[in-house]
Amino acid sequence: MRPAPSLLATALLAHSTLAWRLPHPFTDEPEDDTPLPLVIWHGLGDTYNSEGIQDVGLLADEIHPGTFAYAIAVGADANADRSATFFGNVTEQLQFVCDTLAAHPILSTAPAIDAIGFSQGGQFLRGYVERCNKPPIRSLITFGSQHNGISEFKTCGSTDYLCKTAMALLKFNTWSNFVQSRLVPAQYYRDLTNYDSYLQSSNFLADINNERPVKNEQYKKNIASLANFVMYLFEDDTTVIPKQTSWFTEVNGTEITPLRKQTQYKEDWLGLRQLDEKGGLRFRSITGEHMQITVDVLKEAMSDFLGPMNKTFAPEPKVVAGLWQEEL
């Protein structure tokens, strides 16, 4: 899903949507205040060059002048990029992004990059951190992302035939190789009533969540290397089910298990506990529906977690959004 353009446009009318700046050359000097590049991965049904995504890059440059913003595209043009949010093999798409960023003439010369992922783009960026992370991500910010999977598929608009086609195919066997290698939302579907099938057949989520018996230690190391992992949850989200997945919460019927009470956190399958112990795991919430993000929220996130390489970050306090850490 895309961030609502109308919420951004009024603050950014003075900018051209094509005027993203090239960065100053990066140096090893500690006083270098050149902002790290920002990589953006959009959500389901959106495109790399949509007004909302372009405006996010412009806003980053407004907050930190000189920011080079790069919107990830998986497709030769906007139509192909939008289609790839519904149809495609996420493992192959992610490898394409890994190769593209590693070869990019600007991103590859930076000491690190920052990243913002909207909806499914958030867990895809987390997959990037785990599987390649070259160039390395310093701050990963996700909005309404499905980190612990979804238990239902989205409802399509009446005229969105691409979406309707995808969702119709999903009514067939979700765990078949045909579906898992072709339909993007199926690859982060997590069915606790059929957990063994999920573990055996999930093409993407079961792997990047390190849920299978043999753990990938590099995934854990890479997540723990983040300076910040900021997860935004939409309090009134009816698009992503369950909405609590944005905080890695597990929802099984009426039973809700916060991240810190799950086995994966206690045994630290992903490095989230190690990241949490150093104060880099950050829970945030937004009042509103899925992807209803105000300019103020984006400004705050960018001010707090983007900027030059030499920026320092205060550890997350023990109380977050009125909840003790043990409750999250």
Instruction: List, for residues 104-120, the tens digit of each pLDDT value.
Output: 999 999 999 999 999 99
Q: Is 290 a catalytic residue?
A: yes
On whether residue 210 sits in a domain, the answer given is: no
Q: Which residues of 245-256 are buried (b: 16+ CB within 10 A; e: fewer)?
A: bbbbbbbeeeee
User: What integer pLDDT is reported at residue 168 of this predicted model?
Assistant: 74
* Domain assignment of residue 94, yes or no: yes
Residues 6+ apart with CB under 8 A from 121: 40, 41, 42, 43, 72, 142, 145
Question: 237 catalytic, yes or no?
Answer: yes
> Region 144-151: what's the mean pLDDT?
96
Interval 263-303: pLDDT, tens: 999 999 999 999 999 999 999 999 999 999 999 999 999 99
Give the tens place of pLDDT for each residue, 255-264.
999 999 999 9
* CATH number, position 317: 3.40.50.1820
Split into its structural domains, the chain has a count of: 1
**Would you state the pLDDT for residue 9?**
37
Is 173 domain-assigned? Answer: no
pLDDT digits (tens, 9 = 90+) for 8-42: 433 333 333 333 455 556 655 656 789 999 999 99
Domain presence at residue 277: yes
Which of the two residues, 9 and 243, has the higher pLDDT score?
Answer: 243
- Give the bridge partners for 150, in sequence order: 189
Question: Could you say which of 42, 64, 147, 290 is catalytic?
Answer: 290
Stated pTM of the model: 0.89
Q: What is the average per-residue pLDDT within 49-71?
A: 97
Is residue 61, in this structure, part of any structural domain at all?
yes
28 or 176: which leads in pLDDT? 176
Q: Is residue 96 part of a domain?
A: yes
Residue 156: band (very low, low, confident or very high) from pLDDT cuts 50, 70, 90: confident
Domain-embedded: residue 22: no
The pLDDT score that the predictor gives to residue 327 is: 54
Catalytic residue among 50, 83, 119, 202: 119
Whether 161 is in a domain gets the answer no
- Can you give the residue range of the structural domain that contains 150? 35-154+217-327
119 is catalytic: yes
Of 237, 246, 268, 276, which one is the catalytic site residue? 237
